[in-house]
Amino acid sequence: MKISSLRINSLVLALCYLFFSCSEPEEQKMEIDYPTHPNIVWIVNEDMSPEHLGAYGGTGGKTPVLDQFATESLKYTNAFSTAGVCAPSRAAIITGAYQTSIGAHNMRTLGMSANALDAYPEGFKSYSTVLPDGMKGFPEYLRMIGYYTTNNSKQDYQFVAPKTMWDESSNNAHWKNRPDPNQPFFSIFNLTISHESQVWARADEPLLVDPADVTVPPVYPDDSISRHTMARFITNVMRMDTQVGEIIQELKDAGLYENTIIFYYSDHGDGMPYFKRELYDRGLKIPLLIKAPFLEPGSVTDELVSFVDFAPTVLSLAGIKIPPSMQGQPFLGPQKSAPRKYVYAARDRMDSEVDRVRAVSDGRYKYIRNYMINQPNYQNIRYRLNNPLMVHLLELHEQGQLTPDQERWFDETKPKEELYDTQVDPWEFNNLVGNPEYDAKLEEMRKAHLDWINYYGDLGAKPEMEMVKEWWGGKDTAPVTEEPIVLFEDGLVALGSGTPSASIGYKKSSKDVWSVYQEPFEAAAGDSLYVLAHRIGYEPSEKAIVLKVEEVEE
């Protein structure tokens, strides 16, 4: 492919001016100063509430690794996911924006394998969330200043990530693989052993805790099935604790542990029935331990933290100016904001079952707004029926053997509003709506909820496929990102795309990792160049352009 300046039309000339003169903000173009850009590691386990860790009280198992890690960390006691399930919450984490504001609120958008048990509503069509103009996944900003970014290995962001987001995203992704041992890294390790599915997938493995010794939450009957299922779950947590120790040991062996910023957290509350997918604290509250050289070991804070705060916090720690597309508040680093007053959460479609519920908490009082009051709290999600405890609860419900607090999950309707004092009522059984002593608090929390929706918007109010069709311009398939525009002049290559907000990647060999394009770069006549453009939510450009850079024709 020959690139000639004599055949550049006016649009391309305009793009050329844009890419040669504007590019990225200065904060993202600066030469990296390795000592000022700390290594950051996230250790994430799935489907676990804080109390299973000894550092948060314990439920019968032993978690010596994380208990020790807590003595070296800042422990957060009021950290929350934005949903009681993974994919919408992970969308909020990776973008720093509420899933309801960007259309990533339904569980799950990319569909499942053909042999999966999960069903979808009639007419559902798999899709990637089309992010708003200018919004990118935060690891791309880290790559722009020289970080090596890895994800091992789950994404589940409600969209297909562009190739520019990660240096590596696979089961083998690891900070050890970076080509330069002095290059700063951001690495995520996802531990799936505590996921709800492992309760039945590991049913035949030995237990590490005696069912007689576990704590049975009051949402379950205290019987042998509940105790055995809880023991299975707690055993998985204990094995997860060992896996955390292996990751920590790798950092220690490399001499990196002391100066690496380490986040440990869960991707939402427990994976057990009447926990996962719910907007009660048991579905939303997470353990969060952060170890960093500048944090006091063994300290504790009750500061409110939401998943939308994670992305801006990482950018703050890495020395990157937080982009205006992010809605979260950084809680560490030089751009740290004032503590937030509320955290927010949402529940929408879960597999085949449609609902719309919103919640706001000030750390003590929880307000829940049910928009579909004729829907029962319990949803017949087939995937969850693999859990023997779920089957047991349904049998006891049919037999009328549950307590009123346990039976409430199966009520045929829901109240329009719920209000709980989670300090005195941690299981959120006693709805305070209608109690005149709490009228002022109810009004405050209701206003906070409505203000949140009015400020950020809530696409959950729109039918899902209608929202998708609007993204797709009324068509039945997602748009395709336009082919990249490639310009070469005076020894510099400039890249662009006619699709707004597209990320552009390039590399000089098929074996190279895709680099994030920011500004014109040097090339020589005869160089090979691979170029790809991808706007999140669109299909990527049909194929990478492979060309030989040639001198401009006169």
Comparing CA positions, the residue from 443, 460, 457, 453 lying closest to residue 365 is 443
pLDDT by position in tens, the chain (length 554)? 333 332 333 334 344 444 433 333 333 433 433 348 999 999 999 999 999 999 999 999 999 999 999 999 999 999 999 999 999 999 999 999 999 999 999 999 998 655 555 579 989 999 999 999 999 999 999 999 999 999 999 999 999 999 999 999 999 999 999 999 999 999 999 999 999 999 999 999 999 999 999 999 999 999 999 999 999 999 999 999 999 999 999 999 999 999 999 999 999 999 999 999 999 999 999 999 999 999 999 999 999 999 999 999 999 999 999 999 999 999 999 999 999 999 999 999 999 999 999 999 999 999 999 999 998 889 999 999 999 999 999 999 999 999 999 999 999 999 999 999 999 999 999 999 999 999 999 999 999 999 999 999 999 999 999 999 999 999 999 999 999 999 988 889 999 999 999 999 999 888 999 999 999 999 887 788 999 999 999 999 976 667 665 544 43
Comparing CA positions, the residue from 131, 132, 124, 130 lying closest to residue 107 is 124
**Total number of residues shown for the chain:** 554
How would you class 52 by CB atoms within 10 Å of its CB: exposed for 0-12, middle for 13-18, buried for 19 or more?
Answer: buried
Q: What is the pLDDT of residue 118?
A: 59
CA distance 455 to 18: 32
For 238, which DSSP code? H
CA distance 60 to 215: 6
What residue has token string 């100063």?
33
In the three-class reduction of DSSP (H, G, I as helix; E, B as strand; rest coil), residue 392 is classed as helix
Q: Could you tell me whether strands 503-507 and 528-534 are parallel, antiparallel, or unpaired per DSSP bridges?
A: antiparallel
Q: What is the pLDDT of residue 549?
A: 59
Q: What is the pLDDT of residue 523?
A: 87
CA distance 297 to 262: 13
Q: For residues 149 and 141, is the Cβ–Cβ distance under 8 A?
A: no
Q: What is the pLDDT of residue 24?
A: 38
CA distance 415 to 409: 12
CB atoms closer than 10 angstroms to residue 156: 19
Burial 294-330 (b: 16+ CB within 10 A, else e): eeeeeeebeebbbbbbbbbbbbbbbbbebbebbbbbb
Catalytic member of 86, 240, 396, 402: 86
Q: For residues 143 and 149, is the Cβ–Cβ distance under 8 A?
A: yes
What residue has token string 């979260």?
328
Rg over alpha carbons for the chain, rounded to the nearest Å, is 25
∠ CA 95-83-448, nearest 5°, is 90
Residue 469 is inside which H or E element, if any?
Answer: helix 464-471
Comparing CA positions, the residue from 367, 355, 356 lying closest to residue 448 is 367
Instruction: Answer yes or no: 86 catalytic.
Output: yes
Q: What is the pLDDT of residue 112?
A: 66
